[in-house]
Amino acid sequence: MNDKAFKISVIGTGSWGTALGVLLADKGNDVTFCSMTEKKYRELVNDHENRSALPGVKLPDRIKYTMDIEEAVKGADCIVFSVASPYTRETARKMGPFIDEGQIIVSVGKGIEDDTLLMLEEIIKDEIPQAETAVLSGPSHAEEVGRHMPTTCVIGSRNKQTALFLQNLFMSDDFRVYINPDVLGISLGGALKNIIALASGIADGLGYGDNTKAALITRGIAEISRLGVAMGANPSTFAGLTGIGDLIVTCASMHSRNRRAGILIGQGKSLKEAVDEISMVVEGVYAAKAAKKLADKYGVEMPIVTEVNKVLFEGKDPASAVHDLMIRDKVAESKDVTWAS
């Protein structure tokens, strides 16, 4: 429990926003869920459970519910922004007029805006410049956080005091929080891992094994790090929770909607069929084109991202994509390690 109860607003009632709201309410905070649809609002109010997004997790009685963004955010000590990437800018624009100078908004989504190539936190800052923005990321399935399974995440903020406040706010006996000033690196790692998870799922759908998955994870983090460093992020960030940690859990777990979508594509279903069957936003699909644009912009080679784009949007056969990755030109694993002579 906190020494003080803070007023928390959770914008977006998907699985992740719900799990974090439960975490914060269980710590004794005054939590309000802001739902975008009346159907979801009624479900939460009547059932005290998010049956469609996080079934089996009972919502604490102390949580309040609203459909009014102004009511939700006015006077909140922290706003947890948990909105899928396609709706981030629109939602932030609606919130903007009601946000006070310095009010803290922590972005917990993972994605890249296709036309601007901005991270989700950057979109929020673009629409609400008066806000103090931060990010929360790491290997964390909502299904496990909602059931209080031990989890570690990282808070990214350019302001150390904001990072420390959020670390104290979120940290509990089963939710450990680290802090890091590299907001760009944290955001980028969280967004790009979804593309590698799609590739991992495609490999699973094709019937490939652990060797293939290990290769995709290892070479995937190499691609993510190359782009991140080119964009100005700290390389050590990608060796941490939002880099290799998030990549491992997303590529390996059936909780991952990106991996599940990839499995369906590897089994022969079209992109539309796979996304329809998942019936939730598959962030890696939205991030894939943006990642390829960033790779081209910064002159960074990202072969896995390139092949995923070809499979998703150009109709390339998944098995051919894996074959083309395997027969690329022979190179050294790391340019930083050299022979003595």
One digit per residue, the tens of pLDDT, for the chain of length 341 reads: 666 899 999 999 999 999 999 999 999 999 999 998 999 999 999 999 999 899 999 999 999 999 999 999 999 999 999 999 999 999 999 999 999 999 999 999 999 999 999 999 999 999 999 999 999 999 999 999 999 999 999 999 999 999 999 999 999 999 999 999 999 999 999 999 999 999 999 999 999 999 999 999 999 999 999 999 999 999 999 999 999 999 999 999 999 999 999 999 999 999 999 999 998 889 999 999 999 999 999 999 999 999 999 999 999 999 999 989 888 877 878 888 888 87
Q: Quick one: 128 and 205 in the same domain?
A: no
Domain boundary among 181, 201, 221: 181
- The domain tally of the chain equals 2
Which range of residues forms the domain containing residue 234?
A: 184-326
Q: Please report whether residue 22 resides in a domain.
A: yes
| CATH number, domain with residue 58 | 3.40.50.720
Q: How far is Cα 239 from Cα 199, in angstroms, rounded to an integer?
A: 20
In whole angstroms, give the CA distance from residue 75 to residue 98.
9
Residues 242 and 113 placed together within one structural domain of the fold: no
Residue 334 belongs to some domain of the structure: no
Triad 87, 93, 98: Cα angle to 5°: 130
283 is a domain residue:
yes
Distance of CA 328 to the CA centre of its chain: 30
Exposed/middle/buried for residue 66 (C-beta within 10 Å: 0-12, 13-18, 19+): middle
3-state secondary structure of 23: helix
| Same-domain status, 23 and 172 | yes
Integer Cα distance of 17 and 21 in angstroms: 6
Q: Which of 40, 193, 213, 292 is catalytic?
A: 193
Residues 171, 43 within the same domain? yes
Are 173 and 207 within one domain? no
Buried b (16+ CB within 10 A) or exposed e, 39-64: ebbebbeeeebbeebbeebebeeebe
The residue among 181, 200, 220 that closes a domain is 181
SS3 300: coil
Residue 338 lies in a domain: no
Point out the domain boundary residue: 162, 181, 200. 181
CATH, residue 254: 1.10.1040.10
Is residue 335, in this structure, part of any structural domain at all?
no
In a domain, 332, yes or no: no
Say yes or no: 72 and 101 in one domain. yes
Q: Which two tokens stand for residue 81?
A: 């922004």
d(CA 226, CA 214): 18
Domain contains 336: no
42 and 27 in a single domain? The answer is yes
Strands 132-137 and 151-156, sheet pairing? antiparallel
pLDDT of residue 2: 62
Strands 175-180 and 151-156: parallel
Q: Which of 28, 17, 5 is nearest to 80 (CA)?
A: 17
Q: 193 catalytic, yes or no?
A: yes
Say whether both 188 and 175 belong to one domain.
no
Per the DSSP assignment, residues forming a β-bridge with 105 are 79, 133
What is the model's pLDDT at position 336? 80
Identify which of 74, 57, 62, 47 has the alpha carbon closest to the alpha carbon of residue 17: 57
Q: Do 28 and 127 belong to one domain?
A: yes
> Does residue 267 share a domain with residue 147?
no
Residues 195 and 172 in one domain: no
Whole-number Å distance between alpha carbons of 179 and 192:
20
- Estimate the crossing angle of helix 303-313 against helix 318-326, to 10 degrees: 160
Q: Which residue in 281, 265, 283, 285 sits closest to 273, CA to CA?
A: 265
* Long-range Cβ contacts of 324-333 (<8 Å, 24+ apart): 328/303
150 and 277 housed in the same domain: no
Q: Could you tell me the CA-to-CA distances from 148 to 20, 30, 241, 341 in Å, in that order? A: 10, 19, 18, 53
